[in-house]
Structure 1
Amino acid sequence: MNTLRHVVVALALLLAGTVAALHPKDFQSPEEEARYRAIAKELRCVMCQNQSLADSPAGVADDMRRQVLTLIREGKDDAEITAFFQARYGDFILYRPEVKPVTWALWFGPALLLLVGAGVVVSIVRRQKTDAPAAPPAEDRQEW
């Protein structure tokens, strides 16, 4: 039982360290913290690729988060900060990239695939209806 308590305490300390590493605690104001968190949720981690900057435990994400905070403190607005990262890493860094010819596949691809899939299903169902012979109704013979 005592060993289990040590394991739980060690695990709690380990997790507390990672949470502290994800976000700095020395914000100068609640507004700064809110902006920081909003921007970090909109940017994608370049290493993890499926996590936002806010959620990523990667070392490069720590550097990027520090850069976000630095740019906020330099007086940059949200659009300028996003443009900074977009210029450095491309449209991939944005969770919601701009709608332009290069990103049409991202924006319209899923809907197009859904429409094509629905069309395939409809054509298969129609073909099965026309190919199936009409079966005569079964005679209902019940013996009493």
Structure 2
Amino acid sequence: MMKQIFLATLIALSLGSVFARDAAPLADDPVIEQRLISISEEMRCLVCQNESLAGSRSDLANDLRREIRILISEGKSDDQIRSFMVERYGDFVLYRPPVKPLTWLLWIGPFVILGIGIAGLLVYLRRRNSSVPNVVLTDADNQKIDALLNAADKKEG
């Protein structure tokens, strides 16, 4: 019985490799495909947001790459394609959005948030330090502490 299962599996794998096909190229023209990759690596996937349009496998990324491929086929330049994408989806679609008043938050925002966090931490630490009273121990207090520590050492030993 085990030999029959093994033989059936071997035959199925052999037939599978006979019917397997090579991966279909993404575009008929390799030049178009190279331009597509070059342009889409500069753009952010709007779904994943941390992945380039070239590397994303989301449905939206596939649609946007198809749109870029069509624009390339129509003879649009790289700048015209980028402008079209920015016009349609905003500056956020670019990995390096231009520095202008509308995108200042994208460029400066992380530093502002970091500065606010550091300032908040400093205020917290100063308040915490000022709320602890400065207590000066007397010689009698120090002797009591030494006695307690020595008693603890004797118990352990």
Short-chain TM bin = 0.5 to 0.7
- Deviation track 1:16-66 (CA, whole Å, cap 9, x = no partner) reads xxxx69x8153434xx544322311222334x2524322333334323212
Residue pairs, 1:4-19, within 5 angstroms: none
Structure-2-length-normalised TM-score: 0.61
- Separation in structure 2 between the aligned mates of residue 134 and residue 72 of structure 1, nearest angstrom: 73
Give every structure 1 segment of 4 or more consecutive aligned residues whose post-TM-superposition deviation is greater than 6 Å. Answer: none
| Segment drifting more, 36-45 vs 108-117 | 36-45
Higher Cα Rg: structure 1 or 2? 2
Tell me which of the two structures has the higher relative contact order, counting C-alpha pairs closer than 8 angstroms and 6 or more residues apart: 1
5+ residue gaps, structure 2: 14-22
Amino acid at match of 1:88: R
CA positional deviation for 1:92:
2.9
Amino acid at match of 2:106: L
Residue-pair matches, total: 126
Q: Secondary structure at the match of 1:57?
A: coil
CA positional deviation for 1:77:
3.3
1:24 is matched with which residue?
A: 26
User: What value does the CA root-mean-square deviation take over the aligned residues?
Assistant: 3.3
Structure-1-length-normalised TM-score: 0.66
- Separation in structure 2 between the aligned mates of residue 135 and residue 77 of structure 1, nearest angstrom: 75
2:111 is matched with which residue?
A: 111
5+ residue gaps, structure 1: 10-19
Q: 1:117–1:69: structure 2 CA closer, same or farther, 3 Å change rule?
A: same
- Separation in structure 1 between the aligned mates of residue 127 and residue 59 of structure 2, nearest angstrom: 55
1:16 is matched with which residue?
A: none
Q: Secondary structure at the match of 1:108?
A: helix
The percent of aligned pairs where both chains have the same amino acid is 38
